[in-house]
Structure formats: structure tokens, C-alpha cells
Amino acid sequence: MNTDQTPIIEMKNIEKHFGPVIALAGVSLSVLPGECHCLLGDNGAGKSTFIKTMSGVHKPTKGEIYFEGKPMHFDRPRDAIAAGIATVYQDLAMIPLMSVARNFFMGNEPMKRVVGINLFDHNLANEVTMAEMKKMGINLRGPDQAVGTLSGGERQTVAIARAVHFGAKVLILDEPTSALGVRQTSNVLATVDRVRKKGVAVVFITHNVRHALAVGDRYTVLNRGLTLGTSERGKITPEELQDLMAGGQELATLEGSLGGTV
Amino acid sequence: MSDNETAALAADERVKEMSGFRKALIRPELGGIAGAILVFFFFFLTAYDSGMFSPAGVMNWSIVSAQFTIIAVGACLLMIAGEFDLSVGSMIGFAGMSIAILSVSFGWPIWVAIIVTFILCMAVGAFSGWLVIKTGLPSFIVTLAFLFILRGLTIFAAIATTRKTIIGGIRDVSEGDWLAPLFGGKVLTGFFQWMGDNGWIETFTRGAKQGQPVVEGIPMLMVWAVALIIFGHILLTKTRFGNWIFASGGDAQAARYVGVPVNRVKIIMFMFTAFCACVFATAQVMEFGSAGADRGLLKEFEAIISVVIGGALLTGGYGSVIGAALGALIFGVVQQGLFFAGVESSLFRVFLGVILLLAVILNTYIRRMITGEK
């Protein structure tokens, strides 16, 4: 990968305070087009706050955000979506009672005019949904199949396909694999890989080092609201990542007793 | 883990092999269709010779069903959007009283009174919707408060202006008005007269109305009901806004994340429910020629029951306007049918409770099937 590229999004010294609580105390991160940047950290490290700042949910207390080289201020999530930053949340990606096609076009419904009235173009929506699902390797019984019948991994995949279809340049995935089984996880990771090859930048949040190593190009570790540095693929071992996530505390004793399984 | 995995995979395969019967079962209207067939079958057998299916009899239960339909369409869309409105009944009393006071007591033209009342009611609907959104309280509580507030205000306003709780004289003031017939008039009267003249339908054989058909025409109430069904069904299934209604009720947060204006959708649905209540009230006031402070009692529950019989989920995100209309039809046919069949009318409530319970149980089962829970 060419590291001289301009980052598509660059966050500089982001601070976020919630009243007296300092959630982020100067976090910097840059994401290049077509890379998968893994954001690792233990619970409470500030991962969620950080990506919510990136996706316009929170406004940073201090720090700058550059999008494609230009300074940006997101007041609302809609601003970030309009700029091309899409976020896929673990539990809140899809609505189970609605059909796949209705979910896919939720908020972006295609329209056609019938006798002067704007109607939802169901035919187009169904066709596009079936085609996109096929590309992602999901065989639907029909576009009217409810999302509730899909597995957790398939739902994540549909959400990712949706974001990419509607022109996301940066895709933020909030712990997409944390609730999934082995097979579903590998499906989602394969999807991430496919999306990255299209030139979409992926920010992949996880606390699972193995998932991060499987798809990540670069790794940034957060701990207690601070960046503990960014390293590239192949220049860091799983053990080092694990130690960084735990804040450099010796996991050795723990790992000894667990046989290196964490 | 491996056990869970296999279980999940097995579950997937089972869902994929869904039979046609199960597929039909997850259409929200199915319960309504089956129920309507059953109810008609039952009354054909038990009450056929009672006049229930003569033109006058059909008109009798059709009007009652149309009344239920008008408020059920509003309640249905609101429920799919994930909210309730318990103030529908009080809103009906309030709207009727507002029309009566403004036109009869204040002497305003009736069309002004009607329009002002619609604006007032929809503003109240918008306000309760706004309160639900802003406070984050369940709409159950907020609209329960409005149930009492509006009923109290209605009685107070009636007593304060006229010292009565029933205000009559609407017929006189609506004479010759252009807007009033839109709610109180009848259409196709010529067609029914023609059918009567040809002896195809019953006519009065003596008295002042001799020669006129027993059924004079289709009341505007029924036209409103059909129009609202068509409007609601198209809005829900064929438009972008309909997708937003489903999304807002299915999972408000997920919908917000993809840019659906959930708050706007919900407030508009509260206003639409108020609009439907207002249509009901206006038609009722025109029919009776009077407004009563106790009108519309328990209507909110009858609307909700119709919607639930029609297959909508109380938790939102799923349902159908056609289903709600069928629910209202079942409701009306049974209520009037028991009368025709000569059954003690108190049993109607027993029936209502039983069918509500059955509908909710069936709906819960269907929801589990859709979402793939066991």
C-alpha cells in the first residue's frame, strides 16, 4: 500500500469531555482510501466515543477533523453521511420485521412517478437488492424476505453492502464481529476485504486481536482515551497488540494460565 | 459454540424451507380475512332470516363498520409507527363539542367551525406527539393524560357556554352549507331511488316517505372510510413515507442512523390519528344533529382492537391498513349481528375480549416467525 496517499479522513488530537469526564484526551488517527484501519481497545478505552465523533454524533471538545484534506465540522450524523462516512452499528444495522429490500433502501428510497404522485419504486428496489445480495454471497428467497430470518453475519453484510451501494467512502464498523459465530465472522471479514479492494476506507472497531490481524492494514490502539500508537501489518505481533490494549500491563501471568487463548 | 453454530444453521435451513402456508400466515391481513369469512359464515347461518342481509340490514352494520374503520386507519398507521393514541375517544367528544359550540353557540358559519376544529384537533395531536418525542415517555402515558384532559375540557366547555352537556341544533345551522354535506350527506341517492322504483330494493309503503327506498343512499361516512383505507394503504405500502413509518416503528434508532426523520414521521402520524377522530366526530355530529360531551367513549380501545385483529403488532413496525379495515368490519358485523341474531348484547363484550386475546396471541406467534425466533 502506498502510504504517501492523502488520508481520506484525518483526526488530529481529538479531545472529548463529558462534563468532568475526559473520554478522549488527544486521539489522532488517519485512514487511507482502500485500507482497513483497525481501532483496538479494551472496554472503556474510548473507541465508541471516538467513532461517534468521526460519524458526527458527538462534536469534539478540541481537535481537528480533515476529510479529503479539508477541515470538516459535522453537526449531525446526516452531515457525515452526506460527506460519505457511513457507520454500521452492531445491533442497530437493520430492522428485523422489514423486508431486505425495504431495509436496503431505508432512508434512500428510489422513486417513480405514477399519475403525478411520487411512489416507492419497489421493482427497482427489489432488483437492486437481489443483485447486491448475490454479489455479497447471500442467497435470498426473495427481496421480500424479512431481515429477521437472516443470521447476524448476514445482517452485517447487508448493512455493509447498503453503505457501499450508497456511496460511502469511509465505512465505520462498530464491533461487527463481536456477537457472531466463527462462520459468520469469517463471512463478515471476507466482506470487509471485498469492500476495501473497491477503494473504500474501512475503520474496523474490535477488541478481538485475531479478527483485527485477519483483515487490518494498520492498527491503532486506544487506552484510557489516549492513542498508544499506530503500527502496520506485519510489524507487530498479536502478543504486543494484546499488551497494548491492556495498557501495557503485564498480561503474561494471565496468559500463562489461559494458555495464550485470549 | 459449535453446538450453537449447528443450531443456528439448522434454524436457517428450516426457515428457508418455509411452506406456502407459513408464508401466507405472515401476511398481516390473513387473520382479518379468515376472521371476516368466519364471522359472515356464522351470521349467514344464525341470522339470515332476521333481515341482517337485507339492504337496510347491510346498511346498518356497514355504517357501524365504517365508523370503526375511520378511527382504525389512523390508529393503525400510528401503531405501525410505534406509538399509541389513547385520546382518540376523548378527541371525538372534543371535536364534536368544538363544532357545536363554535357554530351553534358562537354563531359562526358551520364550515368555519369544522375547519377550525380540524386545525385545533390536529394541533392537539401534534402537541401530544411532540411531548412523546421530547420527553421520551411512552405514548401510552402521554395520551392517557390527554384522554382525561380533553374529556374534562369538553365537559367544561359545554357547561360553561350552554349549561348543558348536549348541544343540539346542528341541522339548522348546517342547512345550505357547502362543507357540511361532505360529512353528513349521502351519495348515489338517485341510483338507490332508481333501484327502489324498479322494485329491486325495499321502499316505504306508506307514510310521508312512501315510494322512497328504505336505503336512500351511501352515507358520506362510508365514502370517508373507503377513501381513508385507500389513502392509508397506498401511503403505507407504496410510498417512501410508508417505508419510514415501518422503519420508525420497527427500530427508531436504526432508522435514525440511516437518516429517516423519525420524529417528524411520528408527529405526523399523531396528527393523522387526530384527523381521523375529527372526521368521525364531524360525521357523527351531522348525523345526530347534536354534540354530546360523552361521545366517543372507549373508541380508542375499539380502534386499537380493530387494528390488532387486523394483524398489526402492538410493538410497532408491522401491520396493514387493509387488515385494520377488516378488523373494523368484523367488529361492526359482530356488534350488529348479535343484535339481529337476538343474542344478549352484553355478550358482545365477552366476544370482544376473547377475539382480542386470540388476535394478540396469533400476532405474537407470527412475529416470532418473521424474526426467526423460536
Residue A157 lies in a domain: no
Residue B322 has pLDDT above 90, yes or no: yes
* Whether A174 and A100 share a structural domain: no
Contacts of A93 in chain B (CB under 8 A): 254
pLDDT of residue A140: 80
Torsion sign across C-alpha atoms B72, B74, B75, B81: positive
| DSSP letters for B83-122 | ---TTHHHHHHHHHHHHHIIIIIS---HHHHHHHHHHHHH
Is A181 in the B-facing interface, judged by CB distances under 8 Å? yes
The average pLDDT across A40-51 equals 84
- Domain span holding position A180: 9-94+168-258
B250 → closest Cβ in A77, A98, A183: A98
pLDDT of residue A150: 84
* Whether A107 and A80 share a structural domain: no
Residue B368 has pLDDT above 60, yes or no: yes
The average pLDDT across B323-334 equals 93
> For the domain that residue A90 is a member of, what is the CATH number?
3.40.50.300
Residue A54 has pLDDT above 80, yes or no: yes
pLDDT of residue A259: 55
Residue B104 has pLDDT above 90, yes or no: yes
**Of B373 and B349, the one with more pLDDT:** B349
| Residues A164-191 pLDDT 10s | 888 889 999 988 887 777 888 888 888 8
| Residues A78-136 pLDDT 10s | 788 888 888 888 776 789 889 999 999 998 889 998 888 889 999 999 999 998 888 87
Contacts of A118 in chain B (CB under 8 A): 239-240
DSSP state of A76: S
**Residue A227, strand partner residues:** A222
ipTM, two decimals, is 0.81
Burial letters B166-194, b for 16+ CB under 10 A, else e: ebeebeebbeebebbebbbbbeeeeebbe
* Whether A90 and A17 share a structural domain: yes
Residue A2 has pLDDT above 80, yes or no: no
Residue B275 lies in a domain: yes
* Whether A144 and A59 share a structural domain: no
Task: State whether B240 and A109 contact (CB < 8 Å).
Answer: yes
pLDDT of residue B13: 43
Task: State whether B370 and A78 contact (CB < 8 Å).
Answer: no
| Residues B151-168 pLDDT 10s | 999 999 999 998 988 999
Lowest mean pLDDT among A142-146, B5-9, B49-53, B234-238: B5-9
| Residues B187-209 pLDDT 10s | 888 888 888 888 777 777 777 77
What cell does A226 get?
489516549
Contacts of A122 in chain B (CB under 8 A): 238
Residue A158 lies in a domain: no
**How far is the C-alpha of B373 from the C-alpha of B167, rounded, in Å?**
54
Cα angle, residue B106 at apex, residues B101 and B110 outer, rounded to 5°: 70
CB within 8 Å of B327: residues ≥ 6 apart = B32, B35, B68, B72, B305, B306, B307, B308, B309, B310, B311, B359
User: Phi and psi at residue B237, in whole multiples of 5°?
Assistant: -100, -20
**A88 to chain B nearest CA, in Å?**
9
Q: What does pLDDT average to over chain B?
A: 87
pLDDT of residue B235: 96
Residue B357 has pLDDT above 70, yes or no: yes
SS3 A167: coil
* Whether A112 and A182 share a structural domain: no
Unique residue bearing C-alpha cell 396493514? B320
**How far is the C-alpha of A176 from the C-alpha of A205, rounded, in Å?**
8
A119 → closest Cβ in B238, B260, B371: B238
Listed residue (B361, B363, B270, B306) closest to B83, CA to CA: B270
Residue A257 has pLDDT above 60, yes or no: no
pLDDT of residue A5: 74
> For the domain that residue B216 is a member of, what is the CATH number?
1.10.3470
**How far is the C-alpha of B326 from the C-alpha of A252, rounded, in Å?**
67
* Whether A103 and A90 share a structural domain: no
Q: B312 near B77, Cβ under 8 Å?
A: no
Is B19 in the A-facing interface, judged by CB distances under 8 Å? no
pLDDT of residue B11: 39
pLDDT of residue B149: 97
Contacts of B8 in chain A (CB under 8 A): 151, 181
pLDDT band at B267, cuts 50/70/90?
A: very high
pLDDT of residue A181: 78
What cell does B36 get?
371476516
pLDDT band at B26, cuts 50/70/90?
A: low
**How far is the C-alpha of B133 from the C-alpha of B6, rounded, in Å?**
42
Please report the residues numbered 54 through 113 in chain A whose beta carbons come closer than 8 angstroms to any beta carbon of chain B. Answer: 77-78, 81, 87, 89, 92-98, 102, 105-109, 111
**Highest mean pLDDT: which range of A68-72, B202-206, B270-274, B310-314:** B270-274
Task: State whether B317 and A97 contact (CB < 8 Å).
Answer: yes
Residue A237 has pLDDT above 60, yes or no: yes
Residue A199 lies in a domain: yes
pLDDT of residue B34: 84
In whole angstroms, how far apart are CA A211 and each of A130, A176, A190? Answer: 28, 10, 11
* Whether A191 and A241 share a structural domain: yes
Residue A73 lies in a domain: yes
Residue A3 lies in a domain: no
Unique residue bearing C-alpha cell 447476524? A152
